[in-house]
Chains A and B, each alone.
Chain A
Amino acid sequence: MYELASGPLALGAALIFLLGLVYQTVRFFWLTKPVARPARTYKPQPGSKTGLQPSHRLQRTAVVQRTVLGMEPGLVVVTTLFHLLLILTPLTVLGHVLLVDASWGIRLPAISEATSDLLTVLVLALGGYLLYRRISVAQARSITGSVDLLILAIVLMPYLTGFLAYHQWLPYRPIIVAHILSGELLLVCIPFTRLAHALFFFLTRLCLGSEYSFTRGNRTWR
Chain B
Amino acid sequence: MMRLPAFTYLAPPTVAEAARAVVEHGGEAMLVAGGTDLYPNMKRRQFEPKVLIGLGAIRELRGVSGRAREGLRIGPTTTLTAVARHPEIARHYGALATAAGLVSSPQLRNMGTIGGNVCVDTRCNYYNQAYEWRKAIGFCMKKDGDICLVAPSSSRCWAVSSSDTAPVLWSLGARVRLVGATGERTMPVEALYRDDGIEYLAKRPDEVLADILLPPADGWTSAYLKLRRRGSFDFPVLGVAVALRIEGAVVRDAKIVLGAVASLPRSAPAAASALVGERLTPEVITRVADLAAGPAKPLDNTDYAHFYRKKMTRVFVARALRRLGGLDGEGRAEEEVA
Physical interaction between A and B: no
Binding site for A on B (CB under 8 A): none
Binding site for B on A (CB under 8 A): none
